[in-house]
Structure 1
């Protein structure tokens, strides 16, 4: 099993969620985060003063998938989150040793 963490633009989350649900990927954890990468910040002005917001609000989507579904899920996230501009986000993939469903006690891929 693999854990996918995708940090994407807030405005692209609905596209990603819809695409994942259409592909049968129902379980996900979603949170709002702030961060920065190559998109070093956004310059704004308010009442004549300029300032830079250097931590950009993003949406973090976390999923656990079986290894055979990994490439398909990654492709879905990329296709539905990409704008082609700096700041589209990143996807991180790591191994998951065990998953246990608390309600039933199921383990492994049955619990995903």
Structure 2
């Protein structure tokens, strides 16, 4: 099993929910998060970090001018290994605009799962058909 974490634009959550359900992935979680991508840090900030890593009095005021955190959504779902590609493709199709900030998708291993209500463990605990 794998956990798929997708960081997406706030305005794409409805399209993402619909796409996941239509693709056969009705079970997922979504939370509001804030973060930033790979926007370049100002050269002055990088130089201060390199020259004075211990001097927060010099570096912290410079960090205040860095790009702000952007509101996003974090979508999480657990799927069997053989469904990872389909789930990732579904997330990409629902969120890809071709512009910076479309998001990121991470795939992580899941070692075990337990359904609290029944005590079922392993894949059956996340299988929607037995829920």
Q: What range is the shorter-chain TM-score in? A: 0.7 to 0.9
Contact 1:7/1:89 (8 A) holds in 2: yes
Which is strand-richer, 1 or 2? Answer: 1
SS of 2:30's partner is strand
How many residues end up aligned between the 2 structures? Answer: 102
For 1:73, the equivalent position in structure 2 comes to 87
Cα displacement (A) at 1:38: 2.6
SS of 1:85's partner is coil
Which residues of 2 match residues 63-102 of structure 1 at below 5 A? 63-102=77-116
Distance (whole Å) between structure 2 residues aligned to residue 36 and residue 9 of structure 1: 12
Distance (whole Å) between structure 2 residues aligned to residue 93 and residue 78 of structure 1: 13
Which residues of 2 match residues 29-44 of structure 1 at below 5 A? 29-39=29-39
Larger radius of gyration: 2
TM normalised by structure 1 equals 0.86
RMSD: 1.5
* Deviations 1:74-107 (CA, angstroms, capped at 9, x unpaired): 0000010111100000001110000100001111
Question: Could you list the runs of 4 or more consecutive aligned residues of structure 1 that deviate by over 2 angstroms after TM superposition?
Answer: none
Which is helix-richer, 1 or 2? Answer: 2
List runs of 5+ in structure 2 lacking aligned partners: 41-64, 127-131
TM normalised by structure 2 equals 0.74
